[in-house]
Amino acid sequence: MAEEIKQVQKQNYKSNVKPIWCAGCGDFGVNAAINKALSDLGLQKSNVMIVSGIGCSSAMPHTFSTYGVHSLHGRLIPVATGVKFANSDLTVIGTGGDGDAYGIGLGHMLHAARRNINITYIVMNNEIYGLTTGQASPTSMQGAKTKSTPHGNLEVPENPIALAISAGATYVARAFSGDPMHMAELVKNGIRHNGFSLIDVFSPCVTFNDLNTYDWFRGRVYKLEQSGHDPKNKIAALEKSLEADTSGWEKVPIGLFYEENRPTYEDLDPVLKLGPLINQPSPSKEQLDKIMEEYL
């Protein structure tokens, strides 16, 4: 894996801050894939904003020499949305974990998807709460033994791919940290996509999840683009999103599940259609007084 990561580091968008992830953490692969995607797209560092929540994944903005915000637990999407609305010229990338995205932050993700806000959300899904040392997360497999479920997890795991597609996301993909080159293409295309992009990444936690390891995934994942899947077919995409569940996690598809072209929230909002808010003139005192009169 280390050799694969070296291959994706061309132009370096990284900062001098070194991540504190455990050796072998899948988040290193995500970091390398984002770096390659930005490099391939040739984006100016000053035109990129990376927003994180809380968790192991929250270190991501610190490791890049772009703009970045380390926000609150589960509140990554509202912050990223505010950034995008204030300056729609920015490329806004969210980097979260499965607990942050699919637990406390799930409501925000679903509404951003249905609104089709033009941001790219990369979720490092290690199926465990890694930062708090190994409790079951919303995507932990049923029966998984963790610190909070020593006799086995009773809950059925969430299916973020199916949720995102049904909520209205217009680019939905899944990657695996063991293949950062494949992931980089998905990230690059997600950034290019005009609309809400979710890229769920199987990012193994080598310290607290001894079930969903690199070898476990390598024996199960296959690429959708090699299976004849049509990502424009929403019904087929939903069927593929359920394949891991229905196969007992023996067949796990990765790649692009679904993509459609649909106007973004920014395309439709009459104020945002005029351009980035930071470039629009501030309202005059007379205009503000008139607005206030309507509420008095």
pLDDT reported for residue 27: 97
Q: What angle do CA 188, 194, 198 make, to 5 degrees?
A: 60
- Which amino acid type is present at position 87? N
Contact between 189 and 33 (Cβ < 8 Å): no
CA distance 128 to 120: 23
pLDDT reported for residue 11: 61
Largest CA distance in the chain: 66
pLDDT reported for residue 249: 95
199's enclosing H/E stretch is strand 197-202
Name the one residue in this structure whose structure tokens are 């979720």. 123
CATH class of 2-293: alpha beta
The SS3 call for residue 172 is strand
pLDDT reported for residue 5: 44
Burial environment of residue 154 by CB neighbours within 10 A (0 to 12, 13 to 18, 19 or more): exposed
pLDDT values of the chain reduced to their tens digit, one per residue, 296 residues: 444 444 444 568 999 998 889 999 999 999 999 999 999 999 999 999 999 999 999 999 999 999 999 999 999 999 999 999 999 999 999 999 999 999 999 999 999 999 999 999 999 999 999 999 999 999 999 999 999 999 999 999 999 999 999 999 999 999 999 999 999 999 999 999 999 999 999 999 999 999 999 999 999 999 999 999 999 999 999 999 999 999 999 999 999 999 999 999 999 999 999 888 888 888 899 989 999 999 98
CA distance 124 to 176: 9
pTM: 0.92
Helices (H), 54-179: 76-86, 98-99, 106-115, 160-167
pLDDT reported for residue 2: 46
Residue 114 Cα distances to 8, 101, 268, angstroms: 33, 16, 13
For the chain, which residues make up each domain, given as ranges? 2-293
